[in-house]
């Protein structure tokens, strides 16, 4: 059988994986602080095979860190860090994770949190608001409870590899790092997902057409093989 069939098969498999990434992006089109994933493709040469055949494959999924659309909520407890900075939160296992979802809430113990994850201040400690106080965040990321300063939100810039942790949390990958930065925040605004429904829909159509083309190629190779068999037939 011709090697080309396997090239086409790999192409079709890569497009199916691409559709999966698009499906995930579109499902999260309304998730605050969600960052779209961008699948990356590369070709590889078969080991010991013919050198001129390039097999396509999905090799990685990068996280698109561009800012998403802004929703003006007017709530003094919603924050949007400037310059693409991330809020630091304590993930379930005690490690630090980062999020752009700035919907702050005080939990039952008075700790500021985002969807159940405790938000950290610049000293690496949770920010505690006294019971029954009304609190807000100012433009410098300072948390004020009843007019008293109780701490400042820790802000980080992610660079290099970024990995997804789910729940709109991100952590730096093996080749990435998180650097503490001085940045302001915008209060009363929230970042929505940065998924562009238009781009995702176009990508979906592209993936499907490419998949169809690869499938067509598989069929063509099959017909070629059949023809080759007929040529060799003696009768």
Partner 1 sequence: MEPEGETPAMIRSLYTAATGMEAQQVRLDVTANNLANANTAGFKKERAEFEDLMSTVQRMPGAADQRFPGEPSPLEVGLGVRTAATVRSMERGELINTKNPLDVAIEGAGFLQVRLPGGDLAYTRAGNLRVDSAGQLVTVHGDPIEPDISIPTDATNITIRRDGTVLATVPDRDGPQELGQLELTLFPNPQALVSLGRNLLAANPACGEPLRVRPGEQGSGSIAQGFLENSNVKAVEEMIDMISTQRAYELNSKVIQTADQMLQRLTSLR
Rule CB under 8 A: say whether 144 interacts with partner 1.
no
44 neighbors 33 (Cβ within 8 angstroms)? no
Torsion, Cα of 133, 184, 76, 193 (10° steps)? -130
**What per-residue string of b and e applies to 65-76 under the rule 16 or more CB within 10 Å gives b?**
beebeeeeeeee
Rule CB under 8 A: say whether 106 interacts with partner 1.
yes
**What per-residue string of b and e applies to 78-114 under the rule 16 or more CB within 10 Å gives b?**
bbbbeeebbbbbbbeeeebbbbbbbbbebeeebbbbb
As measured in angstroms, the least distance from the Cβ of 16 to partner 1 is 4
CA separation for the pair 189, 72 (Å, rounded): 4
Rule CB under 8 A: say whether 184 interacts with partner 1.
no
Q: Which is nearer to partner 1, 26 or 96 (CB)?
A: 26
Q: Which is nearer to partner 1, 59 or 180 (CB)?
A: 59
Among 65, 122, 181, 215, binds partner 1 (CB under 8 A): 215
Among 30, 70, 125, 140, binds partner 1 (CB under 8 A): 30
Rule CB under 8 A: say whether 194 interacts with partner 1.
no
As measured in angstroms, the least distance from the Cβ of 152 to partner 1 is 20
Rule CB under 8 A: say whether 133 interacts with partner 1.
yes
Rule CB under 8 A: say whether 218 interacts with partner 1.
yes
Q: Which is nearer to partner 1, 198 or 231 (CB)?
A: 198
Rule CB under 8 A: say whether 8 interacts with partner 1.
no
CA–CA distance from 19 to each of 15, 24, 156, 217 (Å)? Answer: 6, 9, 32, 19
- Count of residues engaged in binding partner 1, rule: CB under 8 A: 73
As measured in angstroms, the least distance from the Cβ of 95 to partner 1 is 15
Site for partner 1 in 65-94 (CB under 8 A): 73-75
215 neighbors 16 (Cβ within 8 angstroms)? no
Task: Tell me which residue of 69, 68, 67, 141 sits closest to 104, measured CA to CA.
Answer: 141
Rule CB under 8 A: say whether 28 interacts with partner 1.
yes
Rule CB under 8 A: say whether 179 interacts with partner 1.
no
φ, ψ of residue 22 to 5 degrees: the values are: -65, -40
């Amino acid at each position: 059988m011709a090697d080309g069939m396997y090239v086409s098969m790999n192409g079709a498999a890569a497009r199916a994986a691409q559709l999966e990434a698009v499906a995930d992006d579109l499902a999260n089109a309304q998730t605050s602080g969600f960052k779209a994933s961008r699948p990356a493709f590369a070709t590889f040469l078969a080991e010991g095979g013919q050198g001129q055949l390039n097999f396509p494959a999905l090799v990685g999924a990068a996280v698109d860190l561009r800012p998403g659309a802004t929703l003006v909520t007017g709530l003094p407890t919603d924050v949007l860090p400037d310059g693409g900075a991330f809020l630091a939160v304590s993930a379930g296992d005690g490690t630090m994770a980062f999020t752009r979802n700035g919907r702050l809430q005080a939990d039952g113990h008075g700790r500021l949190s985002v969807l159940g994850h405790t938000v950290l201040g610049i000293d690496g400690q949770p920010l505690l608001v006294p019971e029954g106080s009304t609190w807000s965040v100012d433009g410098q990321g300072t948390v004020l409870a009843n007019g008293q300063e109780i701490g400042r939100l820790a802000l980080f810039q992610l660079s290099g590899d970024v990995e997804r942790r789910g729940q709109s949390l991100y952590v730096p990958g093996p080749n990435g790092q998180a650097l503490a930065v001085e940045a302001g925040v915008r209060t009363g605004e929230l970042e929505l997902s940065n998924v562009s429904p238009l781009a995702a829909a176009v990508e979906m159509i592209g993936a499907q057409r490419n998949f169809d083309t690869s499938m067509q190629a598989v069929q063509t190779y099959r017909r070629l093989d059949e023809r080759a068999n007929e040529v060799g037939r003696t009768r």
